[in-house]
Amino acid sequence: MKGNEAIAEAAIQAGCRHYFGYPITPQTEVAAYMAKRMPKIGGCFLQAESEIAAINMVYGVASAGKRVMTSSSSPGISLKGEGISYMAGANLPALVVNVQRGGPGLGGIQPSQSDYNQATRGGAHGDFHLLVLAPASVQEMADLTMLGFDLADKYRMTAMILADGTMGQMMEPVEIHPREIPECDKSWALTGTKMQRERNIINSLSMDPYDLERMNLERYERYAAVERDEVRYESYRMDDAEICVVAFGIAARVAKNAINEARKQGVKVGLIRPITLWPFPKAPLKAAAETCKSFITVELNMGQMVDDVRLATECKRPIITCNRTGGVIPSAAEVYNAIMNAQKGGQAE
């Protein structure tokens, strides 16, 4: 299966019956797959007139308490920003998929991780977060899509799959297991009062500053629960590691190859791969700062996640950055060289 197809099929298996999108390379197969499958299972596929229209359709279906998804790639996600912020303000669960391409601007169509800051800082105006999941295989494209729907419902917030063009386009065997959808209270949804209850209101507008502050405080209580209970990461060959590589998505796969080569040379190096980018796995990195002498971050951007690593490690250890940008993927040799540089006691460039 292609990564983009895995996302689409997993969404359907997770009970998503509404998809709204607008084509953009390298994520168009998500929409193409939904266009084929949704009519056959009684679902709704709609190609909107723009990304902005699509995200507002997502707002509508989420308000009715149904599982709903949209997908795009970097420039298209920026267009969706306003809607994403409105959904945060209205506490609406949904899944937004970003299969990143090189930027800024229209950029290119090759893979990138340059929307890390945008995604992990909410992605638009206002005090809010998205729950950001970063797959590193086609299997995880499927698994994290299902998880994203569950967590979005549980915490009444929007979740984002932050993938990249490689993940979207590559093919790997995938197993998607049909599953029970966890029960979730959606008594807030707009389903019609049937004259049996008070009406529900979904809105992100509040003219009373104290009221708005109260809503933001309540939202951040939920965010605190997410930070406490939903951090996910992979720890690879970290048991005796003296050098800790931090990378997510496709960069983590490249890093693993480099780590295995360096291990053959006797270098004690391991990997911490954040799977949730928000909440960021601060605790394992803080712990690694106690045992490792240096860190290496590998990213397909100019160095964005590295700031979160600095915060998590409280700047206790030097960090060497290994970045490629514009759609270029760092090679295993480049990461290997960074590891050898760290081994020799090299400092951050």
Partner 1 sequence: MEDFKRIVLLSGHYGSGKTNIAVNLAMKLREEHERVAIADVDIVNPYFRTSDSRGELEHAGVRVICSAYAGSNVDVPALPQDVYAITDDRSLRAVIDVGGDDRGALALGRWRDAIVDEDDYEMLLVVNRFRPLTRDVPSTLEVMREIEFAANMRFTAIVNNSNLGVETTPEDVLHSMDYARALCEATGLPLRFTSAEERLIPALEGRIENLFPLKLQPKIQ
Interface residues toward partner 1, by CB under 8 A:
1-2, 5, 9, 25-26, 29, 33, 36-37, 108-110, 169-173, 327
- Token code pair at residue 277: 């980018």
State whether residue 273 is helix, strand or coil: strand
**How far apart are CB 8 and partner 1 at their closest, in Å?**
9
Cα of 279 vs its chain's centroid, Å: 10
Q: Closest distance between partner 1 and the C-beta of residue 214, in Å? A: 46
CB pairs under 8 A, 24+ apart, for 51-55? 51/22, 51/76, 51/77, 51/79, 51/80, 52/79, 52/80, 52/82, 52/83, 53/20, 53/22, 54/20, 54/21, 54/22, 54/80, 55/20, 55/79, 55/80, 55/82, 55/83, 55/84, 55/87, 55/96
Instruction: Please give the C-alpha separations between residue 176 and each of 10, 151, 161, 207, 291, in angstroms, as whole numbers.
Output: 7, 18, 17, 46, 38
Secondary structure of residue 56 in the 3-state scheme: helix
Among residues 79 and 170, whose Cβ is nearest to partner 1? 170
How far apart are CB 80 and partner 1 at their closest, in Å?
A: 20
Name the minimum Å distance from CB 36 to partner 1. 6
Shortest CB 329 distance to partner 1, Å: 8
The minimum distance between CB 257 and partner 1, in angstroms, equals 13
Nearer to partner 1, 26 or 93 (CB): 26
Q: How far apart are the first and last CA of the chain?
A: 40
Nearer to partner 1, 165 or 279 (CB): 165
CB nearer partner 1, residue 5 or residue 140: 5
Nearer to partner 1, 4 or 276 (CB): 4
Q: Of 267 and 328, which has the nearer Cβ to partner 1?
A: 328
Taking residue 17's Cβ as centre, other Cβ atoms within 10 Å add up to 17
CA–CA dist 18, 93 (Å, integer) = 13
